[in-house]
Structure 1
Amino acid sequence: MTLGDHLRELRNRLIKAVGAILLVTVVAAFFYKQLIAFLIDPLPGCTPGQVADAATAGHCGLIAINGLLSPFTLALKVSITAGVVVASPVWLYQLWAFVAPGLYRSERKYTLAVIAVGVPLFLSGAAVTYWLLPTTARVLISFTPDSATNLLPVDDFLNLATRMVLVFGLSFELPLLLVLLNLGGVVSARRMTGWWRAMIMGITVFAAVATPSTDPLSMLLLAAPIALLYLLACAVAGLNDLRRRRTRGAENYEDLQTADEPPAGPTHPA
């Protein structure tokens, strides 16, 4: 394919991926109140629509959204986040379909495996976010003075929650990206394992920046699974490189056997 063909292919894949996200976003917009209630539920000591009084000082209370356009903006953000999460099988398939033409025919059979692994990885990252939200909220709220009540705007918390869902979900796709690069022959397993010091450092820094709380527990809860997934990706890439070497070795052996055979031709009587 020429460069223009690659760009047109990329455009078509992007249109399909974005179209699927927009379609799910429109459907999710009809249920945005239920989605907001689902995201608010992990907050400890917070009751939607109620502000903590003096007897519950040190806890938090959710206050109304400020601004005329804030409710619409908040509903849009929550709906788009739901669209990205629910439509993950579609845009992951489009990503793979863009890479697959550059692979061997025997390697294209991994299409279903890529989707079967990529979707659970993305959803696992989103689930880890939902699991970490209570811990993150407790740590941040614990800085509230004993004589004060933390009035938490709903839009601030939901902005944080939606951002963390997308960041964690995409970060869990790192091993899949590395495996795709290995399948495409861009990077070898030896090079991937040679990056382990820089990767561990980068994952730790990313986890420290991505988690809004200052406690090391939240950072480790994000960094540890990503690091394990990176090591798993190195192992899968190593097995793929070993399979390639064996396949190429067998092909070279068959070529040598064919070259050693005498050419077929008519036999002349003595």
Structure 2
Amino acid sequence: MATDTRQADEDHRRFARFRPPQAGEGGTMSLLDHIRELRYRIIVSFIAVVITSSVAFVFYRPLVEIVMHPYQQASLAIKAKNPTASLQVVNTGVVAPFVLNMRVAIVAGLIAACPIWLYQVWAFIVPGLLVNEKKWALRFLGSAIPLFLLGSVLGYWVLPKGIALMLNFTPHGMGITNLLDMNAFLALEIRVILLFGVSFLLPVVLVLLNLIHVLSSAQLKAARKWSIFGFFCLGAFVNPSGDPISMCALAIPLSVMYVIAEWICRSNERKRSTDNMGIDKSEFDIQID
């Protein structure tokens, strides 16, 4: 029995580095344990992205077709207005096709692994929350994942409209051929899709900051006008064309979600205040007795 216990202790110490450090009472942890846990969360997220990217690399051909879809839609829109327009996508360099496939696989892996790395972000913050606030973990994942995917899809939808608008400035009837470098086009597509996806996580981040007592609903209310103005500036910066439709496609949903996040934070503060009043009242009654 003693031998089995020692063996179990040795196994526990041997594999301790592969587990996150446990928080003490009240969710307290030392600075070193926080650093160790951060390292653990980053490693888990990295491994998840590597695995999903490796799987995506096997299916790179249909993924490249998905990547090319915005270009094809933009090309059709351009030729509908100017049938003589010439538009081609080219690869420059010997390793360009391989780099293209690697980038496509990594982006697909990053999107596919979003449930895992979003959970790691939340799990890193959870130990510092109260017991009732930890119940928000499921709600966090349940809202962050679809919001990220929704933002990514919106960016994918906006991209061809912006490309078509910009390339329509090409003079007609002059025999000009627009050559798009495939890797540069992919970099633009990645930027738009990821920025749209990450931007849609804004309400979740605001609620999260409210839960850990960093941000209040009063601060959100005071910054509402400037935040909405910033969303329109962000929409103009992120989308490739800067046209009003694409800009509003990002700014309006973000503005609505900002107001919703403000309302959720206000409701959470009221509930927290009510709970605290209940605790204080019970303690006061006990002291009188």
Query: TM-score normalised to the size of structure 2?
Result: 0.83
CA contact (8 A) 1:42 1:134 kept: yes
Q: Does 1:68 pair with 2:97?
A: no
TM alignment of 1:201-212, pairs within 5 A: 201-212=229-240
Give the C-alpha shift of residue 178 in structure 1. Answer: 0.8
2:195 aligns with one of 164, 167, 183: 167
Q: Does 1:26 pair with 2:54?
A: yes
Give the C-alpha shift of residue 36 in structure 1. Answer: 1.3
1:86 aligns to what?
Answer: 112
Q: Which structure has the highest helix share of the two?
A: 2
The SS at the match of 1:248 is: helix
TM alignment of 1:135-174, pairs within 5 A: 135-147=161-173, 148-174=176-202
CA contact (8 A) 1:126 1:165 kept: yes
Give the C-alpha shift of residue 45 in structure 1. Answer: 5.7
The SS at the match of 1:62 is: strand
1:220 aligns with one of 242, 248, 254: 248
1:179-213 per-position Cα deviation (integer Å, ceiling 9, x unaligned): 11111111111112211122122222211111110
**Aligned partners of 1:63, 1:112: CA distance in 2, in Å?**
43
1:56 aligns to what?
Answer: 83
**Aligned partners of 2:178, 2:156: CA distance in 1, in Å?**
21
**Aligned partners of 2:284, 2:132: CA distance in 1, in Å?**
23
1:126 aligns to what?
Answer: 152
Residues 1:249 and 1:198: Cα distance change in structure 2 (over 3 Å): same
Letter in 1 for 2:75: C
Q: Can you give the 5+ residue segments of structure 2 that lack an aligned partner in the other structure?
A: 1-28
Letter in 1 for 2:89: I
Residues 1:65 and 1:233: Cα distance change in structure 2 (over 3 Å): same
Letter in 2 for 1:39: V
Give the C-alpha shift of residue 34 in structure 1. Answer: 1.1
CA contact (8 A) 2:236 2:243 kept: no
1:46 aligns to what?
Answer: 75
1:65-122 per-position Cα deviation (integer Å, ceiling 9, x unaligned): 1101211221121111111111110000000000100000111111111111000010
Residues 1:256 and 1:222: Cα distance change in structure 2 (over 3 Å): same
Give the C-alpha shift of residue 42 in structure 1. Answer: 2.9
CA contact (8 A) 2:74 2:164 kept: no
Aligned pair count reads: 254
1:233 aligns to what?
Answer: 261
CA contact (8 A) 1:63 1:151 kept: yes
Q: Can you give the 5+ residue segments of structure 1 that lack an aligned partner in the other structure?
A: 262-270
1:102 aligns with one of 93, 118, 128: 128
Give the C-alpha shift of residue 257 in structure 1. Answer: 1.3
Q: Which stretch of the first structure deviates more once superposed, 128-137 or 81-90? A: 128-137
Q: Does 1:35 pair with 2:55?
A: no
Give the C-alpha shift of residue 216 in structure 1. Answer: 1.6
2:276 aligns with one of 238, 248, 253: 248
**Aligned partners of 2:139, 2:210: CA distance in 1, in Å?**
15
Q: Does 1:259 pair with 2:279?
A: no
Q: State the percentage of identical aligned residues.
A: 36
**Aligned partners of 2:35, 2:183: CA distance in 1, in Å?**
38
1:145-185 per-position Cα deviation (integer Å, ceiling 9, x unaligned): 11234233332322211111111111111111111111111
